[in-house]
Structures are given as structure tokens and as C-alpha cells.
Structure 1
Amino acid sequence: MNKLRQFKRPHLLIVGCGDVGMRLLPLVRQRFRVFALTSSSERCAELRRAGAVPIVANLDQPATLKRLAGLAQYVVHMAPPQADGQLDLRTRRLAQLLPSGGRVVYVSTSGVYGDCAGELVTETRPVAPRNARAQRRVDAERVLRDWAVRSGAQLAILRVPGIYAAERLPIKRLEQGTPALLPSDDVYTNHIHADDLARIVALALFRARPGRVYHAVDGCHLKMGDYFDTVADAFGMPRPPRLARADLQAQVSPMLLSFMSESRRLDDRRLRQELGARLHHPDIGAAVAAMALAQ
């Protein structure tokens, strides 16, 4: 009987079942028969233990994806684009296999907005990506919107900022003494705890309005240097040195500099009012302090 109920449950496919996907599985495995796409056969046992049916395939190898066609009416797409180019070829391949009339939650990035000079950003703000990494995300969003319109499916897009958790803090950066910007040059940054992001994804599967964009964010408006100081203080580490932007450019990688060149504050009202999200970690300072005490 248990096996019969299992097969009667709706099917959910998680594409990109990494850290956040593993946190999502306990929230959905009672409601769905969950399939998890992995490119590594070595992860199959881990995924089975977590309650998912592993599907070994690779978004970079189209011939391996045939089994995905029509597999699930619900899809959570968390796989990042490939590392180069302006088009997200992985999402383009996946979109060809998605079911008509289904429901998809796509986990995108707040980087699609580019630099907003510290302004408060709502989901209706036009995208303005400043690098190829963000442009690929914009492409993925457009591809999925087009697919949803053609197929009559329901799509929700979650734009996600920096994800943190106990094992996802900038400890190594602090140990290396990587500098941060002077307060006068610093940028606003946004965060979400990995557990809260998993909960938001689960809520979006049932509560998101069709075609809607949501900011998956905790609502704390910290500048980047203040975030590093918060982590340093909690773990008893030296705060990073502060430099002017002109001096910092010679000491950090181009990718890190790109993150330190975009300033925005993400509005979280739609997340709270429409999805009814109640975060377990609404205050990043309190969350980081608790992580330090738990060590």
C-alpha cells in the first residue's frame, strides 16, 4: 500500500540538487515522488538516502537528457548556467523537455539587476546585467518565460542574492585578510540563509502566482564590509582592512571586484505578502552569532 501511494504522488524533478536542493528534499518528499538530476553517479546513494530517485544525466550532454521528457509535472530548476557565453545553453536544453501545463520554479540571481547605486529594488525593475554571468541568467529567465507562455505552464522566478549557512561563510577570505571597501565606497549587499531559501522554493511550488518574480531575501540591508565585520566579530577574527576602490582594484580578482561594484537593496514585500514566507533566520547578525556559538 505504501508503494502504491508513492506512485500516486505527483512527480517533482529537482535540477541542480546541490546544497539547497538537499535542504529542500525533507520539505517536499512527503508531498511528491521526487527525482533529482545529478551528473555524478557517485551521488546516487546520497540522493536515495535523502528520499529522491536519482537521475544520472548531464545538462551539457543533450543525449543523456531524454529520460527527463514528461517525467514530472513539477520542476525546480536550480542548475547554474555553463561558465561562458551570453546564452544559458543548459536551460535552453532543459526547456525543450519540460511538460506542458506543469509548474516550474526557477532559482535565478539578483545579479540580473546590475548596479542600482544602492536603491531599493522591486521585482518590476528592468534587468540590466553588467557581466556575462548575469546575462546568462537573464537569458534563462526569458527562455523559461517563453516556454511558459507557449505551453500554458506556470512559472515562478526566485531572484536570489548571496546564500549563507554555517559552511558558507567568508571565513577563508577573512583568514587571508582580503580587504573590503571603505564605508564611503562600499556597496549594499543582500543575503538569504540556505535553509530559508529551501523553504521559499517549497512555498513557491504551491503559492507563487504564474509568471511572478520574487526576491528570496531576508530583508537585511547591510553593506558588504559590514557583513564581513559581522562574521569576523562573531568568530573572533580580525576585521578585514578597508581600502578605497582605486586601491582595492589591484588586490582582488576581477570576479570579486564585480561583486563589489554592484549596490542594491532588495525589497522583500512580495515574498512576505504573496508567498507568506516567515523566515527562520530573518536577522543575519543573530544567525551568524548562533553559528559561531555552535562551533
Structure 2
Amino acid sequence: MRLSTVILPDRRWSEGGRESWQRAEELGFDTAYTYDHLSWRTFRDGPWFGAIPTLTAAACVTSRMRLGTLVTSPNFRHPVTLAKELISLDDVSGGRVTLGIGAGGSGFDATALLKEGQAPWTPRQRADRFAEFVPLLDRLLTEDVVSYEGEHYSASEVRNIPGCVQRPRLPFAVAATGPRGMRLAARHGQAWVTTGDPKLFENGTPEQSRAAIAGQLERLGTVCAEAGRDVSELRKVMLTGFSPDRPLDSFDAFVDFAGAHAELGVEEIVIHWPIADSVFAADVAVFEKIATEGLAQLA
């Protein structure tokens, strides 16, 4: 089991931003991720900085911990420009980058680039773009020169030399619970990400959430088998904070949560860095004890 964290890009680098990333490495987290949004939910009217510049700065003040997005989506990203930024970030970090990637949701910054009066993308339209986005990004990160003409994206003799430090490219962690997204994870992913079943967040129980995740894992195994992929090759990642569970309420709550999800087959748990007076508020002392001692209790 791996333990990772998400550090939201909501503080100036000179006003606590730098220290959070350095402290995350000191605490021993496997990976520190950040959200790749233009703004997000209850943080929408407050400070919010770009994911790639933040991760680049974090790469310069850490040396061991992996870094990544959780998640990047086609809502406002184009695979050609994204690939160039990722190759640069992978180089600066010395090959420590994981790209969390998903189809994207609705609301918040999902409509930021749409013309006035243009209808938001439907779930099917987001899935269509994602199905084109991921394979093209895969090619852009692995081939020196790429040309492509699709329904949503194009690339004309795009050069990405020298490519990623990690070979053949940096890993993808694909967030998906539907069959189309899971097929992309099976074909292109090195990890698979879930937040559980969002329908259970407000009124479900932890037991129902675990049953839903077990079902997701079963479907992922079926999709991988159909694609000729061993499902064990995909690391299973659980991003907390969106299920009925409250693993940061206490040290024992986390140990129970981690143990139950390890039994399901989850291999990496991601917890949010505490932010006072927000949906991610938590006792910092409990959080740090979880970071340094939580996984040892599972043994």
C-alpha cells in the first residue's frame, strides 16, 4: 500500500506553498498531486494557481517524492501543448511525474473556454473527447514527430524531442468508472483512479461505498481481460474525500479505512492536505501521524 496526498494550489508560493510540498516529502508521502483546474468549487472566488507551474516549482524544492496531477482533463487542455509542458516537467523533476487524467466534469471551470451561448458538453461529448485525447497524448509523449487529424484534435508535424525522462513516457493514472474510460485505462494506463461512487457521497454508507468500489474493480478486471491486459499491471488508486468515509477524523479511522480498502485491492490511498475552514479541514497532528505511522499499522 502507498500513501499519497493532494496539495491544492490555493496559496502563494512565498506564503506557505513551498513549505507544504517540502513538508509532504519530509513526511514520506509516495506522491504529492495537485488539482489541474482553473478554479474549483468552494475555492472558486479565492486564490488558485496553475498546476504545471506549481508542480515545476515543487520539483525544484523536492528530490524523492513523485509529483502529479489529479486530474488533468480535456475541459481546457489540448494534448499538443500539454505534452510539451509535461515533457518539460518530467525533465525538471528528473523523471518523477505521474499524469492523472480524466474526462472532466461539469460546472466550475468546465465551460471557461466555451463561447457565449454555447451549451456545455454532455457526458457523452466529454467521453468522446477523452477517447481521442488520451491516445493522441500517448503518441505525443512517445514519438519524436506526430501528425494527426481527428474530430476534436489535430497535430501537424509536432516535434517533442527529446521526449520524457521516463521511458517510454511518463505514467498515466486514468480516472474512470464507466466502460469507455476503463478501456482507455486498460490500453494506456499504468494506474487506475476512483473516488468511489459519487451517488453515495451524501447519503450512502461506508459499506455501500466499499461494495461499489468492489464492483468497479470487478469491471476493471473484465475490461482488462478483454483488452488482453493483466489487471495487476494497473495500480489501483483511491482518492479520498468524495465517499461517505471520513478517514481523517482520527488515526484509527484511517487505519480501518486503509485496511478495508487494501482488502478490496486498492494499492494507493490519496488524502487531502488539510485546509482550515474548508471541505478539507482536518487536524494537522492527526494528518501527520497518519502520514508517518498509518501504513505501518496495516502490517
Q: Same fold (TM over 0.5)?
A: no
TM-score, normalised on structure 2? 0.33
TM-score, normalised on structure 1? 0.33
